[in-house]
């Protein structure tokens, strides 16, 4: 699981960035910064937290530094047909219908304010997961998150 990170675009001594350009040769240098075992107090489950840094360098120097934190867990047992959730992974549950998550988007331009309220559903969470290349079902399938991975609800992405 991706647990967070940051991306930096370093600048030279004059404050200028070193942008990458189409067709430019770039070298990626990955480094493992840390790896430590974490024990989840509630369940006793072991996980490994790994910090990784990648530098992308051209002939002009470092262009991008990408730091990521990953969390690895033991493989889940393959669910049998009898333990697989019966409902569709994208079907909203009654709890999602009665307590939707709202996000307010306000756009201000030249004195005018335009407001749109977004209601998150399993479908929009699935689309956000696809957009961010995060296919983990805990983010959009309540039955999977609850019944297979033992979360109380779907896990909202940062």
Segment 117-140 shows an average pLDDT of 76
Instruction: State residue 75's pLDDT score.
Output: 75
Instruction: State residue 28's pLDDT score.
Output: 92
Instruction: State residue 158's pLDDT score.
Output: 59
Q: Are 51 and 103 in contact (CB under 8 A)?
A: no
Segment 3-18 shows an average pLDDT of 88
Determine the Cα–Cα distance for residues 17 and 10; give it in Å rounded to an integer: 6
The length of the chain, given as a count of residues: 158
Statement: residue 69 has pLDDT above 50 = yes
Report pLDDT digits (tens) over 85-112: 554 444 444 333 334 444 555 555 566 6
Instruction: State residue 95's pLDDT score.
Output: 39
CA-based torsion, 29, 35, 40, 44: positive or negative: positive
**Using CB atoms within 10 A of its CB, is residue 154 exposed (0-12), middle (13-18) or buried (19+)?**
buried
Statement: residue 119 has pLDDT above 80 = no
- Is pTM beyond 0.75? Reply is no
Determine the Cα–Cα distance for residues 31 and 55; give it in Å rounded to an integer: 9
């Amino acid at each position: 699981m991706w647990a967070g990170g940051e991306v930096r675009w370093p600048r030279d001594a004059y404050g200028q960035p070193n942008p990458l350009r189409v067709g430019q040769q770039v070298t990626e240098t990955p480094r493992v910064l840390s790896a430590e075992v974490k024990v989840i107090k509630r369940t006793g489950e072991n996980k490994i937290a790994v910090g990784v840094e990648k530098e992308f360098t051209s002939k002009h120097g470092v262009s991008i530094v990408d730091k990521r934190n990953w969390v690895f867990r033991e493989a889940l047992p393959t669910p049998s047909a009898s333990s697989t959730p019966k409902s569709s992974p994208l079907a909203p549950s009654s709890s999602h219908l009665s307590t939707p998550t709202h996000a307010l988007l306000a756009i201000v331009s030249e004195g005018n304010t335009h407001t749109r309220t977004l209601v998150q559903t399993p479908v929009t969470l699935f689309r956000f997961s696809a957009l961010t290349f995060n296919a983990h079902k805990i983010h959009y399938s309540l039955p999977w998150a609850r019944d297979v991975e033992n979360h109380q609800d779907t896990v909202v992405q940062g």
